[in-house]
Amino acid sequence: MAVATTAQDGDSQTLVSSTTQEGIGVISGNLQDEKPVAVARLTASKDGANISIIDSMRCTLKKENTNPDCDGGSEHCEAIGVCIDELVISYLQNYLETESNTVGEQTLHFDGGIRFRGTLFSGKLLEARGFREASQLSADMHSHESDFDGALTNYAERSISTDVSKSPGARDRSLKIVSLLSKIDRDEDKKKDGEDEEEEEDSDYDPWASVKSQQQSQELQYCSKK
């Protein structure tokens, strides 16, 4: 499968992976000419200004159609994987640009800075790229989050994997992510993640609020009937 990706500016970033006749690794800026096969969106999380979430990943290709020559074992996995990788690259580039232009202010962080609202299927693709499962409930209801050490290790392994090298551009994307991560101060990045976690703990968010309100409503109805 040949791959084309494009990023759209705005409140959120959208990456599209689509088949194309132009060749391998072609960058297309026009989405009207072809129907995309996979789409993912990176947008701001409800839990803080310095946290982003990939809240939507969609693919028109069937999961059941396997192909050993594709990254992940199928065109579906490869297409979704391209979206994940490109959004990670876009986030890291924005991270480094923001870091250089902002002094003395709390900025983005990679460790825990990207969240995913994944499924059992997409979760495997995220974990293969070094992302960890969420350890606590949050307002954005994410299932996975970025892990600095995990991403650095897994993307480094992907960059030299013979299986990944079969996929167009997969090795180059992995090398690019490793290169971008190497420009980040690991200890400082993890410190920022800890500060955001403390802010979340201090917030008034209650993950069981909707359940409690429903129970209270049922109790009121029961009392009114009596």
The tens digit of pLDDT for each residue in 40-58 reads 888 888 776 678 888 788 8
Are 86 and 9 in contact, with CB atoms under 8 Å apart? Answer: no
CA distance 168 to 23: 10
CA distance 95 to 110: 8
Does pLDDT of 214 surpass 90? Answer: no
Mean pLDDT, rounded, for 182-198: 79
Q: Where are the beta strands (DSSP E) in 9-131?
A: 13-17, 26-27, 38-44, 52-59, 114-116
The predicted structure's pLDDT at residue 138: 72
Put residue 136 in one of left, alpha, beta given phi > 0 → left and psi -120 to 50 → alpha. Answer: beta
Q: How confident is the model at residue 106 (pLDDT cuts 50, 70, 90)?
A: low
| pTM score | 0.73
Q: Is the dihedral of CA 132, 180, 156, 186 positive or negative?
A: negative
Distance, first Cα to last Cα, the chain: 66
Strand partners, 66: 74
More confident residue, 161 or 118: 161
Angle, alpha carbons 52-28-19 (nearest 5°): 95
Q: How confident is the model at residue 182 (pLDDT cuts 50, 70, 90)?
A: very high
